[in-house]
Amino acid sequence: MKVLQQFPIKSVLVTGCNRGIGLELIKYFAEQNKEKNDQPVKVISSSIGLSSELNDLLSEHIFHVELNVTDTKSVSAAVQKVSDIVGNDGLNLLINNAAIMHDDKGVLDCSDQAMKETFDVNVTGPLSVRNFQIKSIHYHFSMKVLQKFLIKSVLVTGANRGIGLELVRYFVEQNKQHHEQPVKVISCSRRLSPELEDMLSEHVYHVGLEVTDNMSVQAAVKIVSDIVGADGLNLLINNAAIMQHGKGVLGCSDQEMKETLTVNVIGPHSVVNNFHPLLKLAAECNSDTPLSCARAAVFNISSELGSIQNTKNSFTTAYRVSKAALNMLTKCQASDFIKDGIICLSVHPGWVRTDLGGPRAPLSTKESVEDIMHMITHCTEEHNGMYVRKNLVSEPY
């Protein structure tokens, strides 16, 4: 979630940037801008005077504003300059970093003067900066504004075991840490496992879902619609799938092929089509949010076994065929839904120790889900329609 909060920040103001932590914060944002130069953050450093280190960091997107936080005239002038820099977007994040510490040795050693100076800089200063913003240019102070960019709801299919269950667990943990704005976690499965049941709570719902049964999908849409309400659904993770162990092409029966395609391709297709109105609703509600999972997205959990280019043998033919088809489905969904503000990705979760992946797989479900979450929090419009693995690295079709 941290990264997700970070990326929609358009501007940040840091006080006391000449040295120490303030200077380091500016360096951090400068580095972020280099990595994500398509969406640079306007970084406004402020201090009394300008150190040479800070001066070296100034650039097209890194500004400096003279600011003495104890001087209302100085604050007033700074607000005007910051206002010119950020324009109508306002300021997303203010980091009140400037502070002093006298090195007195205990209460008796602390002079009235030292106490007053310390309060002026460390308490009245931040207060003065904040008050002024509210009066003048609608600064958005505190993390509340950033939280509005977060995913409000997520739906996971095949959530009763394996990777799906771990995804639910991840969001449950996130909710514990960010309890002021919990994510609505909608776990879907055709049966409820004890592990999943244990996780159900005020913000963690279970909805029965057999992805191959259109009636079941439609019934699930109704229930989910009541859960998410007017906010719609931000993120749909099509995770449910099967893999049978037919040996090669000749060992793969028509029945196996049919069943595998039904669950792994028609299932996600039906689920996405039926949930499309809820995804579109979320995209509309968050129309000021960049295309991302915080707006509306579909994650189709694919597999590296669906890569035609990398296929060296025919082991699990039906499964390979189904995941290659899922990749194409993702492309088609991506091309159709981008106009609705929804992005779609095909994601290889790694080889994972589950019933499907088997005990020899190198990754635990926790490791895989951490990689998936990194993709969830980092994907943008540029990843729409892509077939990716860990770190959003493109997988050959």
Residues that bind ligand NDP in the complex, under the rule CB under 6 A: 157-158, 160-164, 189-191, 209-212, 239-242, 263, 267, 301, 303, 348-349, 351-352, 354-357, 361
Q: In the complex, what is the shortest distance from the CB of residue 279 to ligand NDP, in angstroms, rounded to a whole number?
A: 19
Q: In the complex, what is the shortest distance from the CB of residue 242 to ligand NDP, in angstroms, rounded to a whole number?
A: 5
* 103/355 with CB nearer ligand NDP: 355
Please identify the residue of the shown chain whose CB is closest to the bound ligand NDP: 162
Return the SS3 of 112: helix
Question: Number of C-alpha atoms within 13 angstroms, CB side, residue 93?
Answer: 21
* 199/291 with CB nearer ligand NDP: 199
* 1/395 with CB nearer ligand NDP: 395
Kindly provide the b/e burial profile for residues 61-95, where b requires at least 16 CB atoms within 10 angstroms of the residue's own CB.
bbbbbebbbbeeebbeebbebbbebbeeebbbbbb
* 118/212 with CB nearer ligand NDP: 212
* 263/298 with CB nearer ligand NDP: 263
Q: In the complex, what is the shortest distance from the CB of residue 232 to ligand NDP, in angstroms, rounded to a whole number?
A: 23
Burial group, residue 204, by CB count within 10 angstroms (0-12, 13-18, 19+): buried
Cα angle 279, 282, 285 (rounded to 5 degrees) comes to 150
* 102/366 with CB nearer ligand NDP: 366
Burial group, residue 35, by CB count within 10 angstroms (0-12, 13-18, 19+): exposed
Region label for 130, one of left (φ > 0), alpha (ψ between -120 and 50) or beta (otherwise):
alpha
Q: What is the C-alpha separation between 345 and 7, in angstroms, rounded?
A: 19
Q: In the complex, what is the shortest distance from the CB of residue 293 to ligand NDP, in angstroms, rounded to a whole number?
A: 18
Q: In the complex, what is the shortest distance from the CB of residue 248 to ligand NDP, in angstroms, rounded to a whole number?
A: 19
Q: In the complex, what is the shortest distance from the CB of residue 362 to ligand NDP, in angstroms, rounded to a whole number?
A: 9
Q: What is the residue whose two structure tokens read 């295309």?
A: 291
